[in-house]
Amino acid sequence: MPTTGVRPRVVRTAPNGLTKEQLYLFNEGSSYHSYRFMGAHLIKRRGTGGVRFAVWAPNAAEVRVIGDFNRWDGRKHVMERMGTTGVFSLFVPKIGEGELYKYEIVSADGSAIRKADPYAFYAERRPGTASVVAGLGGYKWNDAAWYESKRKKPAYSNPLLIYEVHPGSWKIKGKEMFLTFEELAEQLVPYAAELGYTHIELMPVAEHPLDQSWGYQITGFYSVTSRYGSPKQLMGFVDECHRHGIGVILDWVPGHFCKDDHGLRLFDGSPIFEGADSKRAEKPLWGTLAFDFGRSEVVSFLISNAIYWMDVYHIDGLRVDAVASMINLHMDKPPELFTYNALGGHDNLDALRFLKKLNETVFHYYPDTLMLAEDSSAWPAVTSPTYLGGLGFNFKWNMGWMNDILRYMALDPPERAHYHHLITFSLLYAFSENYVLPLSHDEVVHGKRSLLNKMPGSYEEKFAQLRLFYGYWMTHPGKKLLFMGGEFGQFDEWKDGGMLDWMLLDYDMHGGMLRYVKSLNRAYADLPSLWERDSDPHSFQWIDVHNAEQSVISFIRRGFLDYTVIIANFSGNDYRDYRIGVPEPGTYRSVINSNDIPYGGTEAQPQLGYRSESDAWHGHDQSISLRLPPFTFLLLTLDPGDTH
Question: What is the tens place of the pLDDT at every residue in 116-155?
Answer: 999 999 999 999 999 999 999 999 999 999 999 999 999 9
CB proximity list for 251: less than 8 A, separation 6 or greater = 201, 202, 203, 204, 215, 216, 318, 319, 321
Nearest-angstrom CA–CA distance, 192 and 105: 46
Same fold, 160-527 and 537-638: no
Half-sphere exposure of 314 (CA within 13 A, CB side): 24
User: Which segments of 329-390 are extended strands (E)?
Assistant: 370-373
Confidence category of residue 10, pLDDT binned at 50, 70, 90: very low
Q: Is the pLDDT of residue 2 over 70?
A: no
DSSP state of 375: -
Q: What is the pLDDT of residue 15?
A: 65
What's phi and psi for 118, nearest 5 deg? -60, -25
Residues 278-323: pLDDT tens digits? 999 999 999 999 999 999 999 999 999 999 999 999 999 999 999 9
- How large is the average pLDDT for residues 475-504? 97
Confidence category of residue 7, pLDDT binned at 50, 70, 90: very low
What mean pLDDT is reported for the chain?
A: 95
- How large is the average pLDDT for residues 410-438? 98
Query: Any idea which residues carry the catalytic annotation?
Result: 321, 374
Residues 533-559: pLDDT tens digits? 999 999 999 999 999 999 999 999 999
Alpha carbon separation from 532 to 104, 199, 370, 476, 535 (Å, rounded): 55, 17, 17, 13, 9
306-324 residues labelled b (16+ CB within 10 A) or e (exposed): bbbbbbbbbbbbbbbbbbb
Consecutive H or E run containing 267: none
Q: What is the pLDDT of residue 394?
A: 96
284-301 residues labelled b (16+ CB within 10 A) or e (exposed): eebebbbbbbbbebbbbb
Q: Is the pLDDT of residue 485 over 60?
A: yes
- How large is the average pLDDT for residues 213-226? 96
Q: Is the pLDDT of residue 220 over 90?
A: yes
Nearest-angstrom CA–CA distance, 193 and 265: 41
CATH no. of 537-638: 2.60.40.1180
160-527 maps to CATH 3.50.50.60: no
Give me the residue spans of the domains in the chain. Answer: 15-132, 160-527, 537-638
What's phi and psi for 381, nearest 5 deg? 60, 40
Q: Is the pLDDT of residue 458 over 60?
A: yes
Residues 54-100: pLDDT tens digits? 999 999 999 999 999 999 999 999 999 999 999 999 999 999 999 99
Q: Is the pLDDT of residue 12 over 60?
A: no
15-132 maps to CATH 2.60.40.10: yes
